[in-house]
Structure 1
């Protein structure tokens, strides 16, 4: 986020209207909601984690123990169990949807 001077980017009438509410201070103008990307969408992190989680579940289904998954993926037991549970639930929901 960078600083912009209002007089350089805003129409005069809008600047005058804003000055009725705030003067000489920094104000943050948020992006429109529809343009805001979700966590990890822009840099691919979300996709990487989804792939990792699918791999964890696949390995678990193929007989890997929770302890093996902990060592392989360097995650806590709680994290591994949550990933397995959430993935299992998603698959059940997908199967139930026509």
Structure 2
């Protein structure tokens, strides 16, 4: 995650707002996002209101699958998050 996203739906009061994609999730067969705005707030809105590629539940006949680039981004994000939580002296594979 961490991809820059913009609200583009002109009917939305948040149109033009930019931020970082934090989470994707399905709600009643509609893909939603959680984004951290540049001002530091959170927005929860349907993905179709953003500039992200449009995906529907029918695109995934069984369950959503992540593409290789998205998996790589997710791994990098989790690694970065882990380093922030463990502190600068932690080295991968070390205890404590």
Higher RCO structure, 1 or 2 (CA under 8 Å, sep 6+): 2
* TM bucket, shorter chain: under 0.3
TM-score by length of 2: 0.27
Higher helix proportion, which one?
Answer: 1
TM-score by length of 1: 0.27
Bigger Rg, which one = 1
